[in-house]
A and B are shown apart, each in its own frame.
Chain A
Amino acid sequence: MRGTLGYAFVLGGLLCAVFGAVVGIVGGLRRRPGTRAWVERATLGFFVCMLGANLTMVWALIAHDFSVHYVSQVGSRTTPLVYTVVSLWSALEGSILFWGAILGTYLVAFLRAQRSSRERTVELGLGAMLGVATFFAFLIAGPANPFGPVFPVPPDGPGPNALLQNDILMVIHPPMLYCGYVGMTVPFGIAVAALLDGRLGEAWLNALRRWTLVAWTFLTVGLILGSWWAYRVLGWGGYWAWDPVENAAFLPWLTATAFLHSTMLQERRRVLKLWTLSLALASFSLTVLGTFMTRSGIFNSVHSFTQSDIGPTFLVFLALVVAVSIGLLAVRGPQLAPEDTLPGVASRETAILINNLLFSALTFTILLGTVFPLVREAFSGVRVSVGAPYFNRMAVPLGIAILFLMGVGPSLPWGNASRDVWRRQFLVPGMAGLAVLGACLVAGLRGWAPLTTFGLAAFVATVTLRQLFLPALVRMKEKGEKPWTSFARSAARSRRRTGGYLVHLAVVVVFVAIAASSAYVQHTTGTLAPGQTLSLSGYTVRFVGLEQGEEPHRHWVAARLDVTEVGGAHGSLAPRMNFYERSTDPVGSPAVSSGAFGDLYLTLLAFGPDATGSPTASFNMWTLPLVGWIWWSIPLFVIGALVAAWPRRRALPVVDTEPAPARRSAARGTA
């Protein structure tokens, strides 16, 4: 029954999406009056249907309705409730269903934000987005239908993948990442609409930038949470492995970041229009590529879902998206010619241009490394693997160059800089960078990559803090305001700028944390009997004994360890192995002691009685300096993005700059 209901919702959603896409694009292109209302209704219909389908699935999961295909695959009577609900996105079909709900929510949000705008780009944009929705609804209705019937109905199911019910981060990491992925649909729709419409003024730029920023923020948080999840669950003492699917999520982040910078050039100088639009379209294409990589079953990755038949369908969609993007850019290209020229080398414009080149180079490098094994095998039949060394060798210098530009760009003025500016802007930050570099050398730290990163980080942090606080300082002097008031007011006056610099600070934090944790990681292993100890960089752990316990869906064995830090602080850690009823291999749970300056990370490798029958346990032990700062930077990223993107009170969307005409009755009817 639930299966039929859910499938009816899916078919309804598909119908709405097809109808809205056709009406939106045809109506928008022919400038038919009155079609907009129908597109809005179709959008709302799609949203309601997708929400209904998802709620039906959650209901079926909670009710353990094993007559529904998806529930019979991931459900289990012993799984705790929270993981039962979360299993909505723990396997292929459910994750695409969930995708549909997020897409519906985005479309309705876009509709609301643009409600007062009468531009036909809104109609065209909704049409393009519903075109994307059509594809996903088709996937859910056909190749990845989660609501199919199961007969005979099994009494119980296998439960979700053991790795996915091991950590609470699984509850928020995938939705965040999906919100980032799906969110790129909106900028794609806006860009397609602007290109279809042919009026390539600046009207669409604000909406494009803001919606990209929304998706970018979710993607950033999703990526960092994903690395945190890997760190807490997978137990290999790291957080980023250049896995194809990690790369797949990183690629659109890179192009979206480049886009957020190149829009500044387009606003200021009316240059790089073609390039900026290309980045917006590329970001969406790369999210589709990333989804394809995760779900086609042709990549070897910790993330890949089981082998499935949706790969070819996805590939056709990917080809279509790229073809439409390139076709539109080629047709409209002549209208996207630059209206101005760039100033000389020493200008912020040039810094942003180089930033874009570096981001593109990084995107290309990572894309190449990710797909190279497949391409090589397709063309020569030889299977190779591209490992972390390639990515590190390529990404580290490019990353350091980007960090350098983060300090140089904001220091340079728009337009040509005078010699004087150079000295005034770079003296203090440069000294700060050199001072930190010297301090690190004195402290005995070595290695060119981490030391360069630390020095540059100090340089960039100084530049950024000055940019953040200088306007406030000026206000304080001129108007005699209190520090906090003057900062709040100066920030409110230029929110995009303030938000951008807050994000820059967060990026500096992440750079330092990555450099420190990857360059100065320490590792040891050992097999201990009770009472024996293992020491590593200031930490000593003493094996106390084995513990075990039962939970409804698993049983576990833990090794209790007493931890003594160099300062004398005491603690206790217990890395575990979890045994799930329906999983052949045990799933480890590392134990992590997090501190402001670094983490102690322990995993249980093996346990058992030795020849005399007393318990022994083997451990992996790591110390990772500053690693926690990677995830603790999330609030700073979010605050910065919110400051930059929060809609201004009283302000209307930029697409609304025309004199406000009387509202059409049709639009009001659906609002």
Chain B
Amino acid sequence: MSGWSLAALAAVALATAALLFAFTSGFGRDPHEVPFILKGKPAPDFTLARLDTGEEVTLSSLRGRPVVLNFWASWCGPCQAEHPTLARAAQRYQQDARFFGVVFEDTPENARAFARPLDPSFPQLVDPKSRMAVDYGVSGVPETYFIDAQGIIRDKYVGPLLDAQELAGRLALLREAGGPGARR
């Protein structure tokens, strides 16, 4: 066999080895997961009006306490399902974090009708034209963002947060501000 053939076989062997190595690193990872590039980055600042009073809320003025942002819409069934869990947590952990809901792609009337029977839980904010949702890279509702006391996004949860323990765990991580926000 010529040297060329041997070299080609060796190259194929090497490439295959590299490929197999790459595959091994894929195990235990969910290929459907959407990458979350804002993790560990400063949360984009916003000033939004409250749904009920119209009073303006600015994120940067809330420094010093963790913030939980929950994106929801009245047309979203799972949002309805998770709302009681969030409302209870907002009251129970009010010393630890401030909770805000952000209305996503919805009319104020529908949103108010949705929020009224569930309040008084936590303030809801109106995000006209979804500018702020775009800044945060919301891919759908419900989605919940966890921002630490320094204004760094530590984590986000995609889908309805139905498990109070899960939420408590994430809040505990948030309290250890500066610690990496672990996923699950």
A contact set with B: CB distance below 8 Å = 274, 292, 296-301, 304, 307, 311-312, 315, 318-319, 322-323, 326, 329-330, 333-334, 336-337, 371, 374-375, 377-379, 383
Contacts and interface: CB of A to CB of B under 8 A. Distances in A.
Contact of A330 (B6, B21, B25, B29): B6
Contacts of A374: 22-23, 25-26
B12 interface: yes
Interface in B16-69: 16, 18-27, 29-32, 35
B5 interface: yes
B24 A312 contact: yes
A378 B26 contact: yes
A298 B28 CA distance: 8
B81 interface: no
Interface string B121-140: 00000000000000000000
A274 B27 contact: no
A312 B26 contact: no
B19 A315 contact: no
A354 B73 CA distance: 59
A311 B13 contact: no
B164 interface: no
B22 A307 contact: no
B1 interface: yes
Contacts of B22: 371, 374-375, 377-379
B116 to A, nearest CB: 23
A378 B23 CA distance: 8
Given A299-B31, A307-B30, A374-B26, 9 more contacts: A298-B23, A304-B31, A311-B26, A312-B27, A326-B13, A326-B16, A333-B6, A375-B19, A378-B26
Closest 7 CB pairs of A and B: A333-B1, A298-B26, A300-B31, A378-B22, A378-B25, A375-B22, A322-B16
Interface in B58-111: none
Given A326-B13, A329-B9, A292 B31 contact: no
Contacts of A336: 1
Nearest to B23: A315
A326 B14 CA distance: 11
A326 B13 CA distance: 7
A341 to B, nearest CB: 14
Contacts of B31: 297-301, 304
Given A326-B12, A336-B1, A318 B20 contact: yes
Contacts of A307: 30
A28 to B, nearest CB: 24
Contact of B5 (A274, A296, A371): A274
A309 B26 CA distance: 12
A312 to B, nearest CB: 6
B9 A330 contact: yes
Contacts of B35: 383
Given A304-B31, A337-B1, A326 B9 contact: yes
State which size class the interface on B falls in.
20 to 34
A497 B9 CA distance: 32
Contacts of A329: 9
A168 B18 CA distance: 40
B6 A371 contact: no
Nearest to A297: B31
10 contacts: A300-B32, A311-B27, A312-B27, A318-B20, A326-B9, A330-B1, A333-B1, A333-B5, A337-B1, A375-B18
A374 B18 CA distance: 11
A333 B3 CA distance: 10
A587 B2 CA distance: 57
A299 B18 CA distance: 17
A336 B2 CA distance: 10
Contacts of B32: 300
Contacts of B19: 371, 375
Contact of A296 (B21, B23, B30): B23
A322 B23 contact: no
Contacts of A300: 31-32
Contacts of A375: 18-19, 22
B19 to A, nearest CB: 6
Given A333-B5, A337-B1, A383-B35, A296 B26 contact: yes
A19 B20 CA distance: 29
A274 B12 CA distance: 14
A297 B35 CA distance: 17
A274 B6 CA distance: 11
B41 to A, nearest CB: 16
Contacts of B21: 378
Nearest to B2: A337
Which one of B1, B12, B13, B24 has the highest number of Cβ atoms from chain A below 10 Å of its Cβ?
A: B1
Nearest to A337: B1
Contact of A298 (B1, B13, B27): B27
A303 to B, nearest CB: 12
Contacts of B18: 375
**Most A CB within 10 A of own CB, among B23, B26, B30, B35:** B23
Nearest to A384: B35
A301 B32 CA distance: 9
A374 B32 CA distance: 13
Contacts of B2: 337
Contacts of B29: 298
A611 B5 CA distance: 73
B16 to A, nearest CB: 5
B146 to A, nearest CB: 22
B55 to A, nearest CB: 33
A272 B96 CA distance: 73
A337 B13 CA distance: 21
A301 B24 CA distance: 18
A348 to B, nearest CB: 24
A375 B16 CA distance: 12
B144 to A, nearest CB: 20
A329 B2 CA distance: 12
A315 B20 contact: yes
The residue among A274, A292, A301, A378 with the most chain B CB atoms within 10 A of its own CB is: A378
Contacts of B1: 274, 330, 333-334, 336-337
Contacts of B5: 274, 333
A274 B4 CA distance: 12
A247 to B, nearest CB: 14
